A and B are shown apart, each in its own frame.
Chain A
Amino acid sequence: MPNQASVTVTVNGLPVDVPSGATVAVAVVMAGQACRISVTGEPRGPLCGMGICFECRVMVNRNPHVRSCQVLCEQGMAVATEK
Chain B
Amino acid sequence: MNREERRHFDVLVIGGGPAGMAAAACAAECGVRVGIVDDNLKLGGQIWRGESGDPKNKDASNWAQRLRKSGATALCGLRVVHQPEEGVLLAENLDTFCELSYDKLVLATGARERFLPFPGWTLPKVMGAGGLQAMVKGGLPIHGKRVIVAGTGPLLLAVADYLRKHGAEILLICEQASWRSLVQFGAALASWPAKIIQGVRLKFDLAGIPFAANSWPVAAHGQKSLEHVTISRAGRIEEIPCDYLACGFHLVPNIELPMLLGCSVDNGCVQVDEFQETNVPSVFCAGEPTSIGGVELALIEGQIAGLAAAGRTTEAKAWFGKRTKARRFAQLLDRTFRLRSELRSLSSPETIVCRCEDVSHSRLQQHTSWRSAKLHTRCGMGPCQGRICGPATQLLFKWKPDSVRPPVFPARVETLAAIARQPEVQHSEVNGGH
Contacts and interface: CB of A to CB of B under 8 A. Distances in A.
A59 interface: no
Interface residues of A, number: 38
B128 interface: yes
A26 B135 contact: yes
B225 A45 contact: yes
A51 B40 contact: yes
Contacts of B79: 51
B139 A21 contact: yes
A1 B94 contact: no
Given A40-B358, A45-B124, A69-B134, A50 B41 contact: no
A18 B139 contact: yes
Contacts of A1: 50, 137, 139
Contact of A2 (B126, B139, B432): B139
A interface, over-half SS: loop
Contact of A50 (B50, B115, B131, B141): B131
A53 B355 contact: yes
B278 interface: no
Shortest Cβ-Cβ A-B pairs, 9 listed: A22-B139, A49-B134, A45-B124, A49-B131, A54-B383, A23-B138, A2-B139, A40-B358, A19-B139
Given A45-B124, A48-B127, 12 more contacts: A2-B138, A25-B138, A34-B124, A43-B225, A48-B128, A48-B131, A52-B254, A53-B355, A53-B384, A65-B383, A69-B138, A70-B41
Interface of B: 39-41, 46, 50, 77, 79, 94, 112-113, 115, 122-128, 130-135, 137-141, 224-225, 254, 352, 355-358, 382-384, 387-388, 410, 432, 434
